[in-house]
Amino acid sequence: MEENQTSGNDSISHFNDELCVNCQQNRFEPGKPINLCTDCRKSLIAYPIPKSIIYFAIALAVIIGVSLVRTQRYVSAAIHLGKAENAIERKEFLTAQNELLAVLNAFPDHMTANAYMMIASAYNFDFEAYGVAYERIADKTTEDDELLQQVNTASSYIAHNFPNDTVFYKKILAYPNDEQKLIALADSTDELPLKGQVANRLYDLKAYSAAQAITDSILIVDPNFYQAISMKSAIKRNLGKCKDALALCDRLLQFNSQDVYAISQKARIELKCKNDKAAAQYADKAMNLSPYNPNAMEAKAMVEYFSGNKKQSLITLAQIKEQERKTGDSTVSTRLSPIINGLEVYR
């Protein structure tokens, strides 16, 4: 027993504080927290990490990465949804629709986002986007009465563009050039969209007095009927009553402050009254909001034409026709072509 104690004491007494604490052979590197020689320090640093620790670290990194990605998606969607809500409050429905697309691309079945999309697309008359959003939430319910009321109001607004009596609508198409028969048809129906279609036909015939009488009768029933207001604005423009025409456009912009048609119409009105600088400003605003909208492009082409740049106006007309080929609606190019080709006197 005493011999063992003596050996232990000898080993302790032989420990040299000036040598490496690990090997007790080499001088340790000064200035380090642990007194190790260069060789021992390298060997200990290179000591292999257990694979279990490596796998755990990798798994933890993956979990953290996935969590960060998901969190970022949720945060990003929340930001876009908030911007859409604010845009709807300001009646900036193009901005709202763009923000909502960012939300729905990530969460296509999001109840609130689809409800807001129905509202924004209704005031933009984007029937396709409205239909997609409606289908996604048609069988869902919400306890948000205010949101539901907004959706119902917007749905009523867009529904005005759909005539219910298709048989009657075919009668209107049967008499495209008969002013008296068209007036009689308007008098025989109470359906406002059909009356509006008759007014459109009479406008094409340049029967402005008859067309305005019908639009006035519509606005008595529904002062906010979009088709009637826009038609009356066009009539006032062609009669040279630019102040009245601009005021009617401003009424449309009260429903949707980013209404590209109304802004483009203001450009055309200003051109009619030879206020070319104001017209160019409205055309630029419409193009900035929606550069591929045929109405915005029409205003741009007319500004180009009346500023003496006929070549560019013809290029813009070709671009309009390209857009129209996608929709099958050639209304804009049909009324624009005679003007910029010098076949119709606009002012």
CATH number reported for the structural domain that contains residue 91 in this entry: 1.25.40
Same domain, 124 and 258: no
Highest mean pLDDT among 6-15, 42-51, 185-194: 185-194
User: Is the residue at 174 inside a domain?
Assistant: yes
The last residue of a domain, from among 110, 138, 159: 159
Cα angle 83, 87, 89 (rounded to 5 degrees) comes to: 120
Same domain, 182 and 140: no
Rounded Cα gap, residues 104 and 20, in angstroms:
65
Rounded Cα gap, residues 259 and 289, in angstroms:
9
DSSP 8-state assignment for residue 330 = -
Judged against a pLDDT cut of 80, whether residue 273 lies above it is answered with yes
Rounded Cα gap, residues 314 and 309, in angstroms:
9
Report the share of the chain in percent with pLDDT over 90.
69
Confidence band of 57 (pLDDT split at 50, 70, 90): low
What is residue 47's three-state secondary structure? Answer: coil
Judged against a pLDDT cut of 60, whether residue 13 lies above it is answered with no
What pLDDT is stored for residue 41 in this prediction? Answer: 78
Domains identified in the chain, total number: 2
Same domain, 147 and 197: no
What mean pLDDT do residues 102-117 have? 95
Rounded Cα gap, residues 203 and 209, in angstroms:
9
Same domain, 173 and 302: yes
Judged against a pLDDT cut of 60, whether residue 1 lies above it is answered with no
Same domain, 192 and 144: no
Token pair 């025989």 is found at 188
Backbone angles phi, psi at 118, to 5 degrees: -60, -40
Same domain, 205 and 83: no
Residues of the domain holding 149:
51-159
What pLDDT is stored for residue 9 in this prediction? Answer: 47
Judged against a pLDDT cut of 80, whether residue 49 lies above it is answered with no
Judged against a pLDDT cut of 90, whether residue 176 lies above it is answered with no
pLDDT tens column, 210-265: 999 999 999 999 999 999 999 999 999 999 999 999 999 999 999 999 999 999 99
Confidence band of 16 (pLDDT split at 50, 70, 90): confident
Same domain, 143 and 239: no
User: Is the residue at 83 inside a domain?
Assistant: yes
What pLDDT is stored for residue 67 in this prediction? Answer: 62
CATH code of residue 246: 1.25.40.10
Same domain, 106 and 178: no
What pLDDT is stored for residue 55 in this prediction? Answer: 67
- pTM for the predicted model, two decimal places: 0.77
List the single range of 6-10, 152-156, 243-247, 287-291 with lowest mean pLDDT: 6-10
Contact 119, 150 (CB under 8 A): yes
User: Is the residue at 35 inside a domain?
Assistant: no
Same domain, 143 and 205: no
User: Is the residue at 32 inside a domain?
Assistant: no
The last residue of a domain, from among 121, 140, 159: 159
Judged against a pLDDT cut of 70, whether residue 69 lies above it is answered with no
Judged against a pLDDT cut of 60, whether residue 159 lies above it is answered with yes
User: Is the residue at 333 inside a domain?
Assistant: yes
The last residue of a domain, from among 159, 192, 208: 159
User: Is the residue at 1 inside a domain?
Assistant: no
Same domain, 146 and 279: no
Rounded Cα gap, residues 182 and 195, in angstroms:
9
Confidence band of 2 (pLDDT split at 50, 70, 90): very low
Confidence band of 4 (pLDDT split at 50, 70, 90): very low
User: Is the residue at 13 inside a domain?
Assistant: no
Same domain, 183 and 109: no
Same domain, 178 and 309: yes
